[in-house]
């Protein structure tokens, strides 16, 4: 429904019942006012001597009737004079007995109203508008009830009511037309704003819509510009993220194909030996296991990198026991440690070590540290994971991953956690690495507010400390 149509329907829907209700209320109030004013004026008149005269006339009539009687002609003459005198007002006692034989009976509706306790009641007739009022005086006696008939004027009839309703409806209609006329400029501005918004949407929200004035329409245009700015920002973020993911996939395809080719080579050697009836070489199986483990870790790192590139919204924090994470990481790397003849140990406290973090990312970070320690160590070497509670308070812990491998030169320690950075020793020992593992560890630590430290003494070995 258009704005103007809605306004017109609203005005009509509200104005019609209001106008009719107010007209009826005013009509009833005017009638009640006439009845009340007539009652008050009559009471004042009766208290100012009217009551004594009324009762005296009644008394004289009764005395004359009892004393000498009246012949029919005289009685009719007196009745005619009294009728002319009181043709619009009649008196009755508290039992509604008339004081004059010419007085008509009190209408039933008025009598019942007076008997129910009302001090004044009225009935109305049309053409002409005429009112008959019955009023109970505040005393008993021959003039306790007065009935008055009088003209009320055309405005107190139903025609008068219709005239008032018609006039009010005309005023309401003129008001509605004035409102529609005043709404015209606003509707035109809204149409211009709508066209501008649609044009900006087709253009990708590149520009703002014009903001004119300081009213609600201007606020609406400003709000749209704010929303457009946010949409542009999000589109830029999505575009940048999409480009980053595209570059990451393109650059890692080669890195994935290399270990996959090596894995296929080891499996081909094992298959050829099995077909020739020769025992499968330990080197082939061990190499296949190592490359499969590397590929699995690589895919987990890519998944973790994608989640962290997506931002904080992708992190799911909850409470978990770090001892369980350490046990799972050790169990996952035990086969590759055995294959490489490296001792892998862990030490955890007896009481739970509760962390509030993203358990998947924390497990991946710890897995990267253990994987690097095994990958760059020599056969016969040692790797240990030590989890300790710290005295700083609840949730304070420290995880250390230690190995006795070749370590990292001091000049490379500051850059070792950079994305895609690989030191000289790392490239020599494992040419297929992506340089993502330690970068993910540092990113996970920063997102959880933890510290990360690398310590590599001159004699070799590396200790990586992750502290909450």
What is the average pLDDT across 289-307?
74
pLDDT at 144: 92
In this prediction, what percent of the chain has a pLDDT beyond 90? 21
CB 412 within 8 A of CB 419: no
pLDDT category of residue 213 using cuts at 50, 70 and 90: confident
* Edge-to-edge strands, sheet with 343-347: 343-347, 382-389, 397-403, 462-467, 451-455
Closest CA to 172 of 385, 19, 297, 30: 19
CB 385 within 8 A of CB 401: yes
Euclidean distance between CA atoms 224 and 345, whole angstroms? 60
**Among 249-253, 287-291, 379-383, where is mean pLDDT lowest?**
249-253
What is the average pLDDT across 113-127?
90
What is the average pLDDT across 361-374?
88
Euclidean distance between CA atoms 454 and 435, whole angstroms? 16
Residue 120 bridge partners (DSSP): 135
Radius of gyration from C-alpha coordinates of the chain: 53
3-class SS of residue 179: helix
Q: Which pTM does this prediction carry? A: 0.45
pLDDT at 286: 80
Euclidean distance between CA atoms 326 and 145, whole angstroms? 107
Cα within 13 Å of Cα(208), Cβ side: 14
Euclidean distance between CA atoms 194 and 4, whole angstroms? 16
pLDDT at 343: 95
Sequence-distant (≥ 6) Cβ neighbours of residue 453 within 8 angstroms: 464, 465, 467
Residue 70 has pLDDT above 70, yes or no: no
What is the average pLDDT across 3-21?
80
Residue 403 has pLDDT above 90, yes or no: yes
pLDDT tens-digit readout, 442-457: 888 988 899 999 998 8
Residue 320 has pLDDT above 80, yes or no: yes
Chain-centroid distance of CA 382 in Å reads 59
Residue 53 has pLDDT above 80, yes or no: yes
What is the average pLDDT across 335-361?
89
């Amino acid at each position: 429904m258009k704005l103007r149509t809605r306004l017109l329907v609203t005005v009509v829907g509200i104005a019609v019942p209001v106008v009719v209700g107010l007209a009826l209320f005013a009509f009833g109030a005017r009638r009640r006012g006439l009845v009340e004013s007539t009652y008050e004026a009559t009471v004042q008149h009766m208290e100012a001597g009217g009551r004594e005269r009324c009762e005296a006339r009644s008394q004289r009539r009764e005395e004359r009737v009892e004393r000498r009687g009246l012949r029919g002609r005289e009685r009719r003459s007196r009745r005619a004079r009294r009728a002319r005198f009181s043709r619009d007002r009649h008196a009755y006692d508290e039992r509604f007995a008339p004081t004059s034989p010419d007085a008509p009976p009190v209408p039933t509706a008025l009598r019942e109203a007076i008997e129910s306790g009302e001090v004044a009641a009225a009935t109305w007739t049309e053409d002409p508008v005429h009112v008959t009022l019955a009023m109970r005086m505040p005393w008993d006696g021959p003039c306790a009830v007065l009935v008055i008939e009088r003209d009320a004027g055309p405005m107190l009839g139903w025609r008068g009511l219709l005239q008032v309703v018609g006039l009010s409806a005309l005023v309401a209609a003129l008001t509605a037309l004035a409102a529609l006329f005043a709404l015209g400029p606003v509707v035109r501005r809204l149409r211009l704003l709508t066209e501008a918004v649609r044009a900006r949407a087709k253009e990708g929200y590149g520009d703002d819509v014009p903001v004119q004035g300081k009213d609600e329409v201007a606020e609406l245009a400003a709000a749209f510009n704010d929303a457009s700015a946010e949409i542009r920002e999000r589109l830029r973020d999505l575009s940048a993220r999409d480009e980053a993911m595209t570059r990451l996939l393109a650059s890692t395809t080669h890195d994935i194909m290399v270990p996959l080719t090596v894995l296929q080579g080891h499996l081909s050697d094992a298959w050829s030996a099995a077909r020739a009836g020769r025992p499968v070489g330990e080197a082939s199986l061990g190499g296949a296991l190592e490359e499969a483990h590397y590929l699995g870790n690589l895919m987990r790192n890519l998944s973790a990198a994608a989640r962290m590139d997506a931002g904080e919204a992708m992190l799911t924090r909850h409470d978990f026991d770090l001892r369980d994470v350490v046990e799972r990481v050790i169990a996952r790397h035990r086969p590759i440690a055995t294959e490489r003849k490296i001792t892998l140990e862990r030490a955890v406290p007896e009481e739970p070590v509760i962390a509030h973090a993203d358990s998947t990312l924390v497990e991946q970070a710890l897995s990267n540290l253990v994987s690097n320690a095994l990958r760059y160590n020599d056969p016969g070497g040692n790797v240990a994971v030590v989890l300790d509670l710290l005295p700083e308070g609840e949730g304070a812990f420290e995880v250390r991953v230690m190995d006795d491998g070749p370590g990292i030169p001091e000049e490379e320690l500051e850059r070792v956690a950079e994305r895609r950075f690989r030191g000289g020793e790392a490239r020599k020992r494992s040419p297929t690495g992506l340089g993502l593992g330690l970068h993910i560890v540092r990113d996970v630590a920063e997102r959880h507010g933890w510290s990360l430290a690398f310590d590599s003494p001159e004699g070799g070995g590396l200790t990586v400390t992750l502290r909450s």
